[in-house]
Structure 1
Amino acid sequence: MIKKSLTGLLLLMVLLVFSACGGNDDNSSSKGDNAEGNTNEGSEQTEIEFWTMQLKPTFTDYIEGVISDFEEENPNITVKWLDVPAADLSQKILTSVSSNTAPDVVNLNPNFASQLADLDALVNMDEAVPEEDQKLYVEGAWEANQINGTTFAIPWYLSTEVMLNNTAVYEEAGLDPEENFPETYEDAKELAKTVKEETGKYGYYPSLDLSLVLQHMVKMGAELTNEDGTEAAFNTEEGLSTFEYFTDLYQNDLIPREALTGDQRNTIDMYQAGEVGTFIGSQFISQIKENAPDVYKNTVPSKGITGKSGKKTIAVQNIVVPEQTESKDAAVKFALFLTNGDNQLEFAKLTPIMPSNVEALEDPYFQDAGEDAEPIDMVRITSASQLDESELLIKPMKNYDELRQAMHDAISEAMLGNMSPQEALDQAEAEWNNILSK
């Protein structure tokens, strides 16, 4: 099913995007010559290779436990696990696919996985997964792994945007925290003004790194491209409002300089120091508990803010099966086992993530924080409560990294005062149209 030019195209991607990549892959596995589907009791032994993204050593016991349980239920299937540093995974999977040594099951994010799916390099999960099993996953998470109407992955774990609010900063600014937690971008702007005027601190710390500029634009009502993804569509009133919003905050010192020039690590550092009122940071709640216990005690979560569109974002990590696998049935079987309700619930209790399996989400762990709830418990309940209204805002698209960088470069020009917001938006539109035409 691989397209005629798949190997050549993938090799070209490796050469262009990862020029430092060597010619040898020491992680290729010997899987034997088992025919696809030989997974029944008593059949020939099948080995599948499973790659994850930077889960060792924190989750070694968990993953090895899942593999052991699966092998016990399927004695004719052996799972070989390889954990890859996050920075290396894209390079390794591209190299392995181009050299026809792809693993059987891989943990990838939707945007990168979609690049492989667009080349027919991944198994079609609409065909491989029974319909009744497809319905076991959060709808928005299942749909996040679709391109051109085809599902290329099984969702694994999720997160939604939860605001962390340091109530001590609110009170220092003379605000009642419960009545002033922001729900919209305009609320956040008013909070930023009040906190700055009354305390000199930053009420709101938005991050603009990675894909977050694009997410802000979608939440504020902008469409990124036309329906078929061939032209930019954000040079509109909504797109301009987004550029003007962040330019105004930045130039009036209502958000930190690091919002543009730094990354999310700067955000957490300032929040832990008690210098920030609110930011999107539920993934950092354990770190705050450990590093800044006083700030942790004053932290109250609230739902993620949104804009004109009313949309809220969901982040998805998924499981894919490369089309090259010689053991597709065994690979899909393991992917479904890994993402079943029991296994996802156990995983979610080890780290602040959301399961994509609806059976796991029905557990009281995600419904009731209990009488002695801590901030970390309330983050979990808040995140779960908005799953139904959240979606993947940045749909899989070609040349995603170039598009993301072009938008960040453009809004930077506006925020730094080198261009007007409209001039910067025009620049972004021209860059996007050039990239989309490739």
Structure 2
Amino acid sequence: MRKLRQMLIWALLSLLTTWMVSCSTGNVTGTKQSASGKVEIEFWTMALKPRFTDYFQNLIATFESENSGIKISWTDVPWDGMENKILTAVSAKTPPDVVNLNPDFASQLAGRNAWLDLDTKVSSEVRSSYLPNIWNVSTLNGKSFGIPWYLTTRLTIYNTDLLKQAGITNPPSSYTELAQVAQQIKDKTGKYAFFMTFVPQDSGDVLESLVQMGTSLVDSSGKAAFNSPQGKAAFQYWVDLYKKGLLPKEVLTKGHRQGINLYQGGETALLTSGPEFLKEIAKNAPNVSRVSAIAPQITGSTGKKSVAVMNVVIPRDTKQPDAAVKFALFLTNDQNQLAFAKSANVLPSTVKALGDGYFKNIPANASVYDQSRAISAAQMQQAEVLTPTLKNFNVLQKVIYENLQAAMLGEKTVDQAIGDAEKEWNNS
């Protein structure tokens, strides 16, 4: 199924590329109107219904009351269905007007000129209201293709009982400490310290760890830069953990969801994840939740912390670009970002909203859930998107993960694995 899905995506991308080459670069003129005669904006989100239905209905009602000539039609798309759905819609020239994506996937289509150039539609003054490093994530070849929306940054959620059983007082703060803790927990309890997926389609956490350990993934021309002393040391780090039996075997076949399941089952002592999972743990595993605490994200010698970005993009072939930009900026303004952050336990991407006292004034006796937002917000001082914006980022992730897996299984040496990954990427 995974191969079939990849083949479908690449087939659609090829179709999209062929169509774009044959079309002019101008916007399609005309407007799409609702039965009431209003301009209709079609807005797609990813996996936000039904939990946030009330939030979006209220937001849309407010926008429509302030913009009487515009009607918003909201569609929520399942997480695993968005890529195929948006590729199909864009290639058929029937796209929605505002779409919630992430920069990694959006950049693949940005390289094919699928999105509106926002530098011509959003003033520098408005752009400066967003966190600069976060705005830049949705740029490719010097052009802005997306508007930042909400952010998440990983924390270390840890089981205080398991650490105590292993004689560990404080959770690890670095990868060096993590390796030591992993050995100690295995020796004392027979359990694993943590789970980290090496499945390329699932998570970029391993690539981020390479950067945190001092590895540059690509150079300024986009060629491989990871075949370096730092890159080899990072490869060796994960190979050693796996060969010593300090990582579950299923890290090669299961995704991040398995890490959550193992932590909830009391089988691992640490979970590196977003604070949004704290409520899930409390619901599914109350006994584990009661002994859980949180700490800042584990990092490497660079001290860098990662942040994940969700953005909104506007297809180049929208029939109402000005109204679409107006709604996208309303959706992501200070007030609405702060309201959504409070509702979803995520972080806003505007300077003013992130500086709100909600993220700073946390009482000493606050719950772990409330403490998480203060730690998350504080991490934004060091946080950045650690992986590069590339139109074929998924290929980079695939070649590194597959060769790293081969080294972990003993099929290649670390030197062979990183050398092969370099060649595959540079020839892709």
- Give the TM-score normalised by structure 2: 0.89
Answering whether residue 4 of structure 2 is matched by residue 14 of structure 1, we say: no
Q: Secondary structure of the equivalent of 1:384?
A: helix
The 5-angstrom pairing of residues 287-302 of structure 1 reads: 287-302=280-295
The change in CA–CA distance for 1:355 and 1:99 in structure 2 (over 3 A counts) is same
Does the 8 Å CA contact 2:404/2:417 hold for their aligned counterparts? Answer: yes
Partners of 2:309 and 2:420 lie apart in 1 by 30
Q: Structure 2 unaligned runs (5+)? A: 1-7, 17-27
Identity among equivalent positions (%) equals 42
Q: Residue type of the partner of 1:402?
A: V
Q: Which residue of 1 aligns with 2:363?
A: 370
Answering whether residue 314 of structure 2 is matched by residue 318 of structure 1, we say: no
Partners of 2:392 and 2:46 lie apart in 1 by 22
Using the TM superposition, give the Cα deviation of residue 288 of structure 1 relative to its aligned residue in structure 2, in angstroms. 0.5
Q: Residue type of the partner of 1:241?
A: A
Does the 8 Å CA contact 1:140/1:390 hold for their aligned counterparts? Answer: no
The change in CA–CA distance for 1:187 and 1:387 in structure 2 (over 3 A counts) is same
Answering whether residue 111 of structure 2 is matched by residue 118 of structure 1, we say: yes
Does the 8 Å CA contact 1:202/1:275 hold for their aligned counterparts? Answer: yes
Partners of 2:144 and 2:41 lie apart in 1 by 22
The change in CA–CA distance for 1:218 and 1:17 in structure 2 (over 3 A counts) is farther
Using the TM superposition, give the Cα deviation of residue 258 of structure 1 relative to its aligned residue in structure 2, in angstroms. 2.3
Q: Deviations over 1:43-93 (max 9, x none)?
A: x73111111112111111111111111000101111111111222212222
Q: Which residue of 1 aligns with 2:193?
A: 203
Using the TM superposition, give the Cα deviation of residue 32 of structure 1 relative to its aligned residue in structure 2, in angstroms. 9.8
Using the TM superposition, give the Cα deviation of residue 126 of structure 1 relative to its aligned residue in structure 2, in angstroms. 2.4
Using the TM superposition, give the Cα deviation of residue 320 of structure 1 relative to its aligned residue in structure 2, in angstroms. 0.7
| Equivalent residue for 2:30, pick from 29, 33, 43 | 33
Q: Deviations over 1:400-427 (max 9, x none)?
A: 2222112111111111111111111112
| Equivalent residue for 2:383, pick from 390, 402, 416 | 390
Q: Secondary structure of the equivalent of 1:158?
A: strand
Answering whether residue 252 of structure 2 is matched by residue 260 of structure 1, we say: yes
* Count of residues paired in the alignment: 403
Q: Structure 1 unaligned runs (5+)? A: 1-9, 19-30, 39-43
Q: Which residue of 2 aligns with 1:187?
A: 177
> What is the root-mean-square deviation in Å for CA atoms of aligned residues?
2.2
Using the TM superposition, give the Cα deviation of residue 247 of structure 1 relative to its aligned residue in structure 2, in angstroms. 0.8
Does the 8 Å CA contact 2:9/2:84 hold for their aligned counterparts? Answer: no
Q: Residue type of the partner of 1:227?
A: S
Partners of 2:350 and 2:213 lie apart in 1 by 29
Q: Which residue of 1 aligns with 2:5?
A: none
- Give the TM-score normalised by structure 1: 0.87
Q: Which residue of 2 aligns with 1:152?
A: 145
The change in CA–CA distance for 1:12 and 1:429 in structure 2 (over 3 A counts) is closer
Q: Which residue of 1 aligns with 2:243?
A: 251
Q: Which residue of 1 aligns with 2:57?
A: 64
Does the 8 Å CA contact 1:213/1:407 hold for their aligned counterparts? Answer: no
Q: Which residue of 2 aligns with 1:52?
A: 45
The change in CA–CA distance for 1:310 and 1:11 in structure 2 (over 3 A counts) is closer
Q: Which residue of 2 aligns with 1:141?
A: 134
Q: Which residue of 2 aligns with 1:411?
A: 404
Q: Which residue of 2 aligns with 1:3?
A: none
Q: Residue type of the partner of 1:84?
A: V
Q: Secondary structure of the equivalent of 2:345?
A: coil
Q: Secondary structure of the equivalent of 1:365?
A: helix
Answering whether residue 302 of structure 2 is matched by residue 309 of structure 1, we say: yes
Q: Secondary structure of the equivalent of 1:316?
A: strand
